[in-house]
Amino acid sequence: MKNNWKTSLKDQRRRKRRNRILLLCVAVLSLASIVWSFIPKTAVTDMAVVPNVLETEQLSVDKTQPPPPPDNIFVHNISAGDNLSVIFDTMLINQQTMLKILAADEQLLALDVLRPGNRLIFTLDKESRDLESMELFVHLGRQVIYQRIDAAHFESREIDIPGVWEQELVEGEINGSFILSAIDAGLSEQEAANITDLFESRIDFRRDLRAGDRFQVVRSLQAIGGMKTGQSKLIGIRMSGKNYDHDGFLCEDGNYYDHGGKSLARAFRRYPFSGHYRISSSFNPRRRHPITKRISPHNGTDFAMPTGTTIFSVGDGVVTRIKNHPYAGKYVEVKHGENYKTRYLHLSKFLVKRGQKVKRGQRIAMSGNTGRSTGPHLHYELHIKGRVVNPVKAKIPMAASIPKENREAFRSRVAKFTAMMETGEPTQLVHYGQPKMESL
Ligand SMILES: [Zn+2]
């Protein structure tokens, strides 16, 4: 017994020592990565690869010797204020290569907004040290790969993993501003802002709310392999106080309606201009590019129009991007509530600023011929729930109340979520794939 105890003590010491050595390894590797980031550009070519977080974690649990990290893969974790051109410079990858990547990103524009938490993974050819591929890791559920296909071109591929969506009920009381109370209850700032947008026409968030008023939110969160991706959807919201009681539920068509089926959002316009213009290139996921002649999806609809034509926002929203892209040209992106986003490309002039709230029908820009363009035209894109759709044919909220075909299913969902809010108990926790409305 005593001996056993001694042996286990010895074991413990040995284990402790081993842990200490592993910890030291991790510390040395982390230090190496910090030193690496400070080394002047000219000395980077022969540097050892920076181990990313996953590799470092593996080191600390693997009992066996980890394989040496490859010397042709480099990871860059995006921090605030990072810019692609500087990152490429630091990686000693020339700006021509960056332009080729941006050309492959013309239809996605995924590289135009790099956020802390995103990661770029560069893979070089082992012999020539040319860039072979670059991966943009957005979150666990979304990556974009830019793969070299020949000396002059890269092609882009999106990887979207549906994962598992779990519902939860978040509730709270107003104490101070709605945004702060919502954050206190566990909602993100973005979710809180989405709720104020959603109820903008019904609740005056500055005047109507009183301390002690209640809010309840049924939220769906995405998880992959048991890990949260950070992606969420609000599927039912109720705001109630002494003088008001409002609710909103997400319907299959991507819009929010109250329990009576009245739309919370104002209707959209079909086209972002007045008058008629010829479609010079339609929305086509299998299009051959007019200049490169390769299959490259056309994510928008091109309308031939003279430079200087006034462009309107198709719906109420917030301007999320004002950019000048080498291929997309000058462009504007507007977010309309939680599910809709529109983009207007090849513009000649901006009439709005980033962060500005815009109304349906408000002038936002003048059309033009900037970027890679074969003539003056507007490239117009509509995204619904993160997917690009044909803006000419898509179902958009044109009406003020719920479409007939969705009424029945919507009614039963409202009953279910209302019950969930009353009892505080989620009725069904896990859903697979995209949060399909039928399964909600
Ligand atoms: Zn186009």
CA distance 28 to 36: 12
Contacts of 322 (CB under 8 A, 6+ apart): 331, 332, 350, 352, 353, 354
Query: Does residue 273 form part of some domain?
Result: no
Range 5-14 average pLDDT: 48
Same domain, 58 and 30: yes
Same domain, 176 and 253: yes
Give the tokens for residue 247: 């609710």
Query: Does residue 132 form part of some domain?
Result: yes
Same domain, 156 and 177: no
Number of H helices, E strands in the chain: 7, 21
Q: Out of 52-66, 373-387, 417-431, which region has the weakest mean confidence (pLDDT)?
A: 52-66
Q: Over the stretch 247-266, which tens digit does the pLDDT of each residue have?
A: 999 988 778 899 999 888 77
- Tell me the CA–centroid distance for residue 301 and ligand 1, in Å: 6
Same domain, 102 and 20: no
- Tell me the CA–centroid distance for residue 273 and ligand 1, in Å: 16
Residue 54: its pLDDT value, please? 43
HSE-CB at 207 with a 13 A cutoff on CA atoms is: 4
- Tell me the CA–centroid distance for residue 291 and ligand 1, in Å: 12
Range 241-246 average pLDDT: 89
Residue 11: its pLDDT value, please? 54
- Tell me the CA–centroid distance for residue 374 and ligand 1, in Å: 10
CATH number of the domain at 108, please.
3.10.450.350
Query: Does residue 272 form part of some domain?
Result: no
- Tell me the CA–centroid distance for residue 302 and ligand 1, in Å: 5
How many other CB atoms are there within 10 angstroms of residue 75's CB atom?
19
- Tell me the CA–centroid distance for residue 16 and ligand 1, in Å: 61
- Tell me the CA–centroid distance for residue 300 and ligand 1, in Å: 5
Is the predicted pLDDT of residue 242 greater than 80, yes or no?
yes
Pair 254, 240: CB distance under 8 Å: no
Range 301-315 average pLDDT: 96
Same domain, 170 and 250: yes
Is the predicted pLDDT of residue 216 greater than 70, yes or no?
yes
Residue 348: its pLDDT value, please? 97
The whole model's pTM is what?
A: 0.67
Q: Which of 17, 45, 66 is the last residue of a domain?
A: 66
Residue 337: its pLDDT value, please? 80
- Tell me the CA–centroid distance for residue 93 and ligand 1, in Å: 29
- Tell me the CA–centroid distance for residue 281 and ligand 1, in Å: 7
- Tell me the CA–centroid distance for residue 298 and ligand 1, in Å: 6
Q: Which of 137, 161, 185 is the last residue of a domain?
A: 161
Residue 19: its pLDDT value, please? 54
Q: Over the stretch 138-175, which tens digit does the pLDDT of each residue have?
A: 999 999 999 999 999 999 999 999 899 988 999 999 99
SS3 content of the chain, % helix, strand, coil (to 5): 25, 35, 40
Query: Does residue 94 form part of some domain?
Result: yes
Count of the separate structural domains present in the chain: 4
The rounded mean pLDDT for the chain is 83
Between these two residues, 339 and 126, which has the higher pLDDT value? Answer: 126
Q: What are the two backbone dihedrals, phi and then psi, of residue 324, each rounded to the nearest 5 degrees?
A: -125, 105
Residue 16: its pLDDT value, please? 52
- Tell me the CA–centroid distance for residue 188 and ligand 1, in Å: 35
Q: Over the stretch 80-118, which tens digit does the pLDDT of each residue have?
A: 989 999 999 999 999 999 999 999 999 999 999 999 999
Nearest to 261 by CA among 397, 399, 438, 402: 402
- Tell me the CA–centroid distance for residue 131 and ligand 1, in Å: 28
Q: Which residue segment(s) compose the domain that 16 sits in?
A: 1-66
Q: Over the stretch 52-61, which tens digit does the pLDDT of each residue have?
A: 444 434 444 5
- Tell me the CA–centroid distance for residue 384 and ligand 1, in Å: 18
- Tell me the CA–centroid distance for residue 134 and ligand 1, in Å: 24
Query: Does residue 105 form part of some domain?
Result: yes
- Tell me the CA–centroid distance for residue 379 and ligand 1, in Å: 4
Same domain, 180 and 255: yes
